[in-house]
Amino acid sequence: MLTLGIETSCDDTSVALLENNKNLRCFLVASQLKDHETFGGVVPELASRKHLENLIPLLSQLLDECEIKNPPREIHLIAVTDGPGLMGSLLIGTTAAKALAQAWEVPLIAVNHLEGHIFSNYLAHDDLLPPFITLIISGGHTELILVRSFGDYKLLGATRDDAVGEAFDKVARLLGLGYPGGPMIEKMARGGDPFAIPLPVPMADSPSIEFSFSGLKTAVLWALKRNPNLRVEDVCASFQRAAIEALLRKVDLAVKITGISKVAISGGVAANSWLREKIEGKSWHAYLPPIELCTDNAAMIAAAGYNAYKRGERSPLSFVPDPSKSLA
């Protein structure tokens, strides 16, 4: 059974074809990084215009590459992200998906983008079955979720303010490193001392599972104001150390509270090499997707959609995307 996945929730246009639950036939991403770079962040109006330009050519390329000659006969299901995300961006993907579902007479599944991130790990690891804990860390989200079974999620904790990826992006902007900030900070941090600047680990002493990154960003700003001659490499390394430590301490806490020691980490920040190094010594077992599945992609949406379809879910053509859709 072939599922077509479509993802347009933020600034990446992506399409994928998935055979059954895990066999990824092909997937493509049209990145808009170059378009948003000059503005230092994603410009919503520009993002939706670019999705509009990119989606149909990308879909044609996917069908060509997968040698799909007769889509209505060969594609059996369409899965599309319906939130959370930018409304204009979501509308492009969902409208295209609805039109194709109607024209091809195939069922449609609206997929929560966060559930998609959970399935990026499922695609990569055969032994990842619920119950497990998942940490979703991206430009828009920092959430710890208990996956009781697929389709049954419980929010354990989230950020009070900025998402961790957003903090990477904002600190990079302070340092004039460009957008997106995460990969730039990671690169600069390689030449720095993670303990050069005594930045606090946010929420370190709080007994609850919650995150906060806006104070850490402000601490970086004050450190730079006090000493403008700080080495950029040291600032990056110290910020990265504190931000990743904040994430991992709360994973430790979630493992302790739930007694579950399988932890699936996904989202753009899961690509971070310092994070990947630091989980090595943990008592819990970490699952991470390959780098190309960490950031937004339609493969994970197809996988989540296929699973939902097998659980009996169907979405009517009348569904409306929800920019602040929650998972649990």
Residues that bind ligand KG4 (CB under 6 A): 10, 138-140, 165-166, 168-169, 180-183, 186, 267-269, 271-272, 295-296
Q: Which does 321 bind (CB under 5 to 8 A by kind): ligand KG4, Zn ion, none?
A: none
Least distance to ligand KG4, CB of residue 42, Å: 9
Distance in angstroms (rounded) separating the CA atoms of residues 97 and 91: 10
Length of the chain: 328
Q: Which does 5 bind (CB under 5 to 8 A by kind): Zn ion, ligand KG4, none?
A: none
Least distance to Zn ion, CB of residue 157, Å: 18
Q: Which stretch binds Zn ion (CB under 5 A): 97-105, 123-131, 279-287, 295-303?
A: 295-303
Nearest to 29 by CA among 324, 266, 296: 296
- Secondary structure (3-state) at 137: strand
* Long-range pairs, 57-64, Cβ under 8 A, ≥24: 58/13, 58/14, 58/15, 58/28, 58/30, 59/6, 59/15, 59/96, 61/28, 62/15, 62/16, 62/17, 62/26, 62/27, 62/28
Least distance to ligand KG4, CB of residue 75, Å: 26
Q: Cβ of 102: how many Cβ atoms within 10 Å?
A: 11
The residue (of 199 and 300) whose beta carbon lies closer to Zn ion is: 300
Cβ 145 vs Cβ 159: under 8 Å = no
Cβ 83 vs Cβ 113: under 8 Å = yes
Least distance to ligand KG4, CB of residue 301, Å: 12
Distance in angstroms (rounded) separating the CA atoms of residues 124 and 120: 7
The residue (of 104 and 122) whose beta carbon lies closer to Zn ion is: 122
Distance in angstroms (rounded) separating the CA atoms of residues 177 and 169: 9
Residue position matching structure tokens 């895990």:
22
The residue (of 132 and 168) whose beta carbon lies closer to ligand KG4 is: 168
Least distance to ligand KG4, CB of residue 205, Å: 24
Least distance to Zn ion, CB of residue 46, Å: 18
Distance in angstroms (rounded) separating the CA atoms of residues 19 and 15: 14
Q: Which does 289 bind (CB under 5 to 8 A by kind): Zn ion, ligand KG4, none?
A: none
> Which listed residue (13, 296, 301, 306) binds Zn ion by CB under 5 A?
296
- Secondary structure (3-state) at 156: strand
- Rule CB under 5 A: is residue 138 a binding residue for Zn ion? yes
Least distance to ligand KG4, CB of residue 113, Å: 7
Q: Which does 183 bind (CB under 5 to 8 A by kind): Zn ion, ligand KG4, none?
A: ligand KG4
The residue (of 188 and 308) whose beta carbon lies closer to ligand KG4 is: 188
The residue (of 13 and 138) whose beta carbon lies closer to Zn ion is: 138
Residues that bind Zn ion (CB under 5 A): 138, 296
